[in-house]
């Protein structure tokens, strides 16, 4: 017998169900998150959890701001197949310069600014096919 965990859902909206762009392959989508590497090193020495939180905030802000875009919908629909790449910007100046480059090329993204410090800590793109955005990010290394 089925318990309530396996009962068919009735009367519930599926927020992202069947909304993917025609032909969009969610597996080909990636969300890039670019964190400042200097946050966890002297002299700043932010705790690891605080740094991770910055990336989470930025990724969620980008997904929310661009939630109506077909690529974002397809990415969110992919569930466990979501692909996220976390890169490192050396400092706030590099993060700001990247944001300007992305704006110039009409690449949707969000910069997370921590308050009350008013410090830009992270940037996240909405989900994109890798080949559409990789060229603007290739100078950044994976966060370590």
The tens digit of pLDDT for each residue in 32-82 reads 999 999 999 999 999 999 999 999 999 999 999 999 999 999 999 998 899
Provide the β-strand partners of residue 13: none
Interior angle at CA 94, CA 36 and CA 116, nearest 5:
55
pLDDT at residue 91 above 60? Answer: yes
Smallest CA-to-CA distance from 32 within 136, 113, 104 is with 136
Terminal CA-CA length for the chain: 48
Compute the mean pLDDT over every residue in the chain, rounded to the nearest whole number.
86
Task: State how far the Cα of 54 lies from the Cα of 86, in Å rounded to an integer.
Answer: 12
Q: Can you give the pLDDT at residue 8?
A: 38
Residues 106 and 38 sit within 8 Å (Cβ to Cβ): no
**What are the structural domain ranges in the chain?**
39-138
Pick the CATH number of 39-138 from 2.60.120.10, 3.30.479.30, 3.40.1490.10, 3.40.50.300: 3.40.1490.10
Q: Is 3 left (phi over 0), alpha (psi -120 to 50) or beta?
A: beta
pLDDT at residue 21 above 50? Answer: no
Q: Can you give the pLDDT at residue 27?
A: 53
Task: State how far the Cα of 136 lies from the Cα of 144, in Å rounded to an integer.
Answer: 20
Secondary structure E strands in 42-102: 84-89
């Amino acid at each position: 017998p089925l318990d309530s965990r396996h009962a068919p859902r009735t009367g519930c909206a599926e927020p992202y169900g069947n909304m993917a762009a025609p032909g969009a392959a969610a597996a080909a989508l990636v969300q890039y998150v670019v964190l400042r590497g200097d946050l966890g090193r002297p002299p700043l020495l932010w705790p690891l959890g605080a740094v991770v939180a910055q990336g989470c905030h930025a990724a969620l802000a980008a997904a929310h701001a661009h939630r109506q875009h077909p690529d974002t919908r397809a990415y969110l629909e992919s569930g466990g197949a979501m692909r996220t790449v976390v890169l490192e910007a050396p400092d706030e100046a590099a993060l700001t310069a990247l944001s300007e480059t992305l704006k110039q090329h009409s690449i949707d993204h969000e910069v997370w600014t921590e308050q009350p410090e008013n410090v830009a800590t992270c940037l996240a793109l909405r989900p994109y096919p890798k080949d559409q955005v990789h060229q603007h990010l290739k100078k950044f290394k994976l966060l370590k």
